[in-house]
Every structure is written in C-alpha cells, then in structure tokens.
Structure 1
Amino acid sequence: MDSEEGTVVLVSKEGDKFPVPKAVAYMSGLAKDTIDDENDDDEPEVPLPNVKADVLRKVIEYCEHYLKEKMTDIEKPLKSNKMSDVVQEWYATFVDSEEHEMLFELILAANFMDIKPLLELASAAVAAMMKGRTPEEIRKVFKIQEGDFTPEEENRVREENKWCEEA
C-alpha cells in the first residue's frame, strides 16, 4: 500500500473520531510521526489530547483545502492588515470569519500538530489585527485588561513582534 493511501482516524480531546485520508493526516508532522511509528496498516488512530473537536474540524477543513490549492507563502513583514492582500481568498476568508478565540485555538492546534502553513496563516491573521494599532486599541480588540502585562512584558512583546510591522 502506498504510504499516503488509506485512512487515519484523528481523535479529539473529547474522544470524537475523525476519519481522514492519510494525505490529510500527513500534513501534521505529529500525525505523520505517530502513523509511521505504528505497525498496523489498517486504520491507525492518532490521539490529539490538546485539540478540541470543533477546532479539529477546522484544522481538517484547512488541510483538505491546502491539498487542493497550496497556500502562497506569507511575506513578512505583512504588507497589509487585510488578509486578502496576503493570501488567496479562500485562506483569507477562512481566518477572517473566525472569532479571536478560535484563531488562538487554531494557533495552538497547528503548533501542537506541527502544521506549519496553518500556524503561519493563523498567526498572520492575529498579527494583521494588531498591525497599525496602538497598545490601547490592541487591548480593546483582544479584550486585554490594563495591568495584564507589566511595562517590561509589554516592551518584550513589542520587540518580539516587530516583524509584523512595516520596515
């Protein structure tokens, strides 16, 4: 059997099972390593204890689309705060239509599952929301209370995220 034929079952934090083609599962470095380490060729299961079912559905939707239409590379620094200026329309709509909490969940899931293009897309969407805004505006957008960060932490965050600002 070809290494990318067959089905893999991704198992969410809640125990929900999502059968997907191996090619979709292989977009995840974690799933690929797990599958490659297993000996049975039937329908391997990949437990994802850090990924909620609703988030896993979105991850699968992304991976399925990516296999049909690869996402263009995201230029850094971001040239616009509109994702449609940064990536193809489908990808822009995918992240623009999500609540902040889901975007952060997608970032965590993509990082945990080792899906670099999804991690880049979701991170760029968050960066685009911050681009050109003052710290006060960012606090309001992301519902961050004043005093959540010390001045030192705020400066460190600014330094670490200079890449998302224009050169």
Structure 2
Amino acid sequence: MAEQLKLSSSTGEVFEVEPEVGCMSQLIKNMVEDSGTDETIPLPNVKSNILKKVIEYCRHHKDNPPEEIVKPLKSANLSEVVSEWDDTFVNVEQDTLFELILAANYLDIKPLLDLTCAKVASMIKGKTPEEIRKQFNIVNDFTPEEEQQIREENKWCEDA
C-alpha cells in the first residue's frame, strides 16, 4: 500500500492522508482494494472544508475508536453522551453539521455518521414542534385543521 493516499475534494484540492486514516471510510477502503493507491481518489460529493473536518475526525479516532453512542440519547446534552473531543468536534454551524452528515454517509464512516446524527438528535430532544421548526428554519405549511388532525393521529408518541 502507498505511504499516503491522495484524496481530491469536489473543488479539486488534494489531501494526503495515511492509508489507515483514509480507510476508515468504507468507500475509500473499497476503492483502494479495487484500484490500488497510486491514483488520486476523487470525492466529488465532498467540499474541501468538509473533507478537512472528516480527515481531522479520522486522524483523531485512528488509534482511539469512539465508543458506540447509545440510542435513544439519554440526554439532550451531547457532552453527557460522547467524549469531550467528539462533542467539541460537532459543535459547528448548522450548515457545516449537515454537510458533515452527508459526507459521513457518502464516505461510509459509520461512527462519524452516528456522531453527527446524535448531534442533530440532541438539538431536537425535548423540544416542541414549534421549537424544532424555529431551530431548523422550517416553515409550517399546515392549516390549523391539518395540524390538529396530525396531532390527534400521533397523540400516542407525545404521551410516550
């Protein structure tokens, strides 16, 4: 295996990473197994700033695997659920968080996908639908009658 893998972001910026870091991505691991490591690996769905964050995560967890996140989350405070480093890592702008989710899914890095989704879950946990809409800038396009009908149909989940 090559000493370094070359990963190319959607903007064409090339990042060199250790094979064990790059291969934390199942997608990259499969590409390396299929095609070898001499060629630059194109990642057209990942912007440079996001790829940089993904590499930071993989480097940190290369020799320090994250603990599995228990679901459902026991607390809306993510620092009670994950390590301090992971909590700080996902303490980013909402747009960056969603791009990290998409990148983790595309690159098939399950622990990163679990972490980023847990962050979103912690942002939702214990909030009313109105608070969630405000948090994520979601427009409520239901009529009051439709909203009441949905509340009646889903009353069981609010009681739980």
> What TM-score, normalized by structure 1, do the two folds share?
0.82
Shift of 1:21: 0.3
Measured in 2, the distance between the counterparts of 1:80 and 1:74 equals 11
For residue 48 of structure 1, what is the amino acid of its counterpart?
A: L
Secondary structure of residue in 1 paired with 2:137: coil
Shift of 1:52: 0.5
1:95 is aligned to 90
Shift of 1:70: 1.5
The match for 1:50 among 45, 53, 63 is 45
Q: 1:17-166 alignment to 2 at 5 Å?
A: 17-39=14-36, 41=37, 43-96=38-91, 98-147=92-141
Measured in 2, the distance between the counterparts of 1:36 and 1:135 equals 46
Shift of 1:101: 0.7
Measured in 2, the distance between the counterparts of 1:29 and 1:78 equals 26
Shift of 1:68: 3.2
Secondary structure of residue in 1 paired with 2:24: coil
Measured in 2, the distance between the counterparts of 1:68 and 1:128 equals 27
Secondary structure of residue in 2 paired with 1:128: helix
Task: Return structure 1 stretches of 4+ with deviation > 6 angstroms.
Answer: none
Structure 1: any 5+ residue segments left out of the alignment?
Answer: none
Measured in 2, the distance between the counterparts of 1:63 and 1:130 equals 26
Shift of 1:127: 0.5
After superposition, give the CA deviation of every residue in 1:78-107 in whole Å (9 maximum; x if it has no partner). Answer: 0011111011100011112x0111111000
For residue 132 of structure 2, what is the amino acid of its counterpart?
A: I
Structure 2: any 5+ residue segments left out of the alignment?
Answer: none
Secondary structure of residue in 1 paired with 2:90: helix
For residue 133 of structure 2, what is the amino acid of its counterpart?
A: R
Measured in 2, the distance between the counterparts of 1:67 and 1:138 equals 34
**Is the CA contact (8 Å cut-off) linking 1:35 and 1:44 kept in structure 2?**
no
Measured in 1, the distance between the counterparts of 2:52 and 2:105 equals 16
Measured in 2, the distance between the counterparts of 1:123 and 1:63 equals 17
Measured in 1, the distance between the counterparts of 2:56 and 2:141 equals 37
Identity of aligned residues (%): 50
Secondary structure of residue in 2 paired with 1:68: coil
Shift of 1:67: 1.1
Measured in 2, the distance between the counterparts of 1:76 and 1:88 equals 16
Measured in 1, the distance between the counterparts of 2:11 and 2:68 equals 33
For residue 128 of structure 2, what is the amino acid of its counterpart?
A: T
